[in-house]
């Protein structure tokens, strides 16, 4: 009898140890899963908060743009219809992007949703393409309806939402990135084709470039200067 007990003692002990290990492993796995779910929930909440904040800022900028447009109309009425002054004003608006413009240029369509694409477009890729178009002499640029101006920021919010002028430009289903650039068509086409399109195609993306008469919308934000002030011309004061 004692010999039988001793014979079973070792297997029972080993089974108990294995069972204890499995229970501990399951508890640790469940703990890791819970931690991963918590991290994902936190990331999702952060993305929602960033997006909500961006949308709120965009609404405020649209309201500010409307207020400034109304003030500008009032100023026009006050200064009368001096042709030279109005032409100069239009030129300034075109320069700062607050005036919608039209003219010949190129329309670039980029689709990075192909299964062959390992890495989709990043904000740095978009910035590089815009800089190439500026180098080619583009007079006005927009991406998915957002006008590119001096203060434009192109950033990543969360894991995949790209913001331009604090506005999400994520494509709706079936719509790729579309970049419009007004300028000398042959030069724009030559620069983009040789400096950008080749690399994009090698990455598996689908690229389409066409000459076209374009309309580019105005910048809907506002310029706010908290620290910068105009330099007073000392010569004009004396």
Q: Does 70 reside within a domain?
A: no
pLDDT confidence of residue 5: 45
Instruction: Give how many domains the chain has, as a whole number.
Output: 1
Quick check: helix, strand or coil at residue 204? coil
pLDDT tens profile 169-178: 876 555 689 9
CATH, residue 106: 3.30.70.1880
Q: What does the CA dihedral 111, 116, 119, 120 come to, rounded to 10 degrees?
A: 10
Nearest to 167 by CA among 146, 149, 140: 146
Average pLDDT, the chain: 77
Q: Does 6 reside within a domain?
A: no
Q: Does 71 reside within a domain?
A: no
142 pairs with which residues across the strands?
Answer: 147, 180
Q: Phi and psi at residue 211, in whole multiples of 5°?
A: -75, 140
Q: Does 48 reside within a domain?
A: no
Length of the chain: 238
Q: Does 236 reside within a domain?
A: no
Q: Is the pLDDT of residue 139 over 70?
A: yes
Nearest to 163 by CA among 68, 57, 70: 57
Q: Say which residue, 238 or 136, is predicted with more confidence.
A: 136
Q: Does 145 reside within a domain?
A: yes
pLDDT tens profile 92-117: 666 677 888 999 999 999 998 877 77
> What is the 3 state secondary structure string of 90-124?
HHHHHHHCCCCEEEEEEEEEEECCCCCCCCCCCHH
pLDDT confidence of residue 51: 65
Query: DSSP H helical segments within the chain, as ranges?
Result: 2-79, 83-96, 123-135, 185-192, 198-202, 234-237
Quick check: helix, strand or coil at residue 45? helix
Question: What domain range includes position 163?
Answer: 86-216
């Amino acid at each position: 009898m004692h010999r039988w007990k001793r014979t079973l003692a070792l297997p029972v002990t080993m089974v108990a140890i294995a069972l204890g290990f499995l229970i501990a492993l399951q508890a640790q796995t469940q703990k890791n899963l819970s931690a991963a779910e918590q991290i994902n929930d936190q990331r999702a909440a952060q993305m929602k908060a960033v997006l909500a904040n961006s949308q709120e800022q965009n609404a405020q900028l649209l309201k500010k743009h409307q207020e400034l447009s109304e003030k500008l109309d009032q100023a026009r009425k006050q200064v009368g219809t001096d042709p030279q002054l109005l032409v100069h004003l239009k030129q300034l608006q075109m320069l700062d992007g607050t005036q919608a413009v039209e003219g010949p240029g190129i329309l670039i369509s980029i689709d990075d949703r192909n299964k062959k694409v390992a890495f989709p477009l990043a904000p740095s890729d978009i910035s590089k393409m815009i800089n190439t178009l500026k180098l080619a002499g583009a007079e006005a640029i927009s991406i998915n309806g957002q006008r590119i101006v001096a203060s434009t920021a192109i950033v990543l919010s969360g894991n995949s939402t790209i913001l331009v002028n604090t506005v999400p430009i994520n494509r709706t289903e079936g719509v790729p990135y579309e970049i419009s650039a007004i300028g000398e068509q042959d030069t724009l086409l030559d620069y983009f084709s040789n400096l950008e399109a080749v690399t994009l195609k090698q990455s598996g993306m689908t690229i389409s470039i066409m000459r076209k008469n374009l309309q580019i919308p105005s910048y809907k934000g506002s310029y706010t200067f908290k620290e910068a002030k105009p330099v007073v011309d000392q010569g004009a004061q004396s």
